[in-house]
Amino acid sequence: MGKNEVRWVLANIVSSYRATFYPPEPSADRAMKASQLDELLTIKGVTRGNPVFIRIFKAERELELWMGRAERFTLIKTYPICAFSGTLGPKLREGDRQSPEGFYQVDQGALNPNSAYHLSFNLGFPNAYDRAHQRTGSYLMVHGACVSIGCYAMTDSGIEELYGLVQAALRNGQGRVQVHAFPFRMSAANIDRYSGHEWIGFWRNLKQGYDVFEATLRPPRVRVSGKRYVFDPPPLSVAGN
């Protein structure tokens, strides 16, 4: 069976699962949730269309949504990750069922409103770093439906909020939305805890980018040199992200 056939079979299984266990919400409930999100954005001092930044933490099973205002990003909401695949560590090859770690970008072409997993956006794996290390894979997403074979799966209501805000930011002029995927929160204590792990060198490189954002509340410019991530100073304005 070819890769496309496998994906078609899995999509049908997911559709049946969702129809049984996650029936569609009434339109009134969906409208209420949208209104509650707008109220939260107002409290945080942002609005739909402001720049968006996303951080993912595997071990904690959390996805953070940040939005920009003036010269800083502010944390809007932390979502539970319903499911991800594999263990701590990067994705290495097609079919290893491992969710990726690293620095990714989402543009308008990455959005899929017709996803079999409710809604989705493609992380852009493999990125330049992954290709430099001969890592292979495709269709690594953040999506709904609460099931994963390599992606980061959210609840349907969660992906609706995320997708809508990412889409609004891109339509309003943000060229790409950065998504930073980490194995865990990159504290010094956690780095010490995993100091003997086979991927600690890779994770220390990820921590450099994590620390830039923690210090500035602006995502760094990310590039690859010598098979390592390199982080340049972030733009002075959130509009540059």
Name the pLDDT band for 113 (thresholds 50, 70, 90): very high
Number of neighbours of residue 79 by Cβ within 10 angstroms:
20
User: What's the predicted TM-score (pTM) here?
Assistant: 0.87
Per-residue pLDDT at 16 exceeds 50? no
Name which residue leads in pLDDT, 239 or 192. 192
Of the residues 82, 118, 146, 151, only one is catalytic, namely 151
The predicted pLDDT at position 69 comes to 84
CATH topology of domain 51-240: L,D-transpeptidase catalytic domain-like (2.40.440)
Q: What pLDDT digit, counting tens, does each position of 132-188 carry?
A: 999 999 999 999 999 998 999 999 999 999 999 999 999 999 999 999 999 999 999
Degrees, nearest 5: CA angle 205-163-86: 45
The predicted pLDDT at position 107 comes to 98
The predicted pLDDT at position 1 comes to 44
What's the mean per-residue pLDDT of the chain? 89
Cα(130)–Cα(156) distance, rounded to whole angstroms? 29
The predicted pLDDT at position 33 comes to 81
Residue 143 is among the residues annotated as catalytic for this protein: yes
Name which residue leads in pLDDT, 19 or 33. 33
The predicted pLDDT at position 34 comes to 83
Per-residue pLDDT at 4 exceeds 50? no
Q: What is the mean pLDDT of residues 7-25?
A: 45
Q: What is the mean pLDDT of residues 115-123?
A: 96
Per-residue pLDDT at 2 exceeds 70? no
CB 174 within 8 A of CB 104: no
Q: What pLDDT digit, counting tens, does each position of 45-100 carry?
A: 999 999 999 999 999 999 999 999 878 999 999 999 999 999 999 999 999 999 99
Return the C-alpha torsion angle 30, 36, 37, 41, nearest 10.
160
Residue 151 is among the residues annotated as catalytic for this protein: yes
The residue assigned the tokens 């997403």 is: 141
How many percent of the chain have pLDDT more than 70?
85
Q: What is the mean pLDDT of residues 6-26?
A: 45
Of the residues 82, 143, 146, 180, only one is catalytic, namely 143
Per-residue pLDDT at 18 exceeds 80? no
- Best CA proximity match to 91, nearest among 83, 101, 81: 101
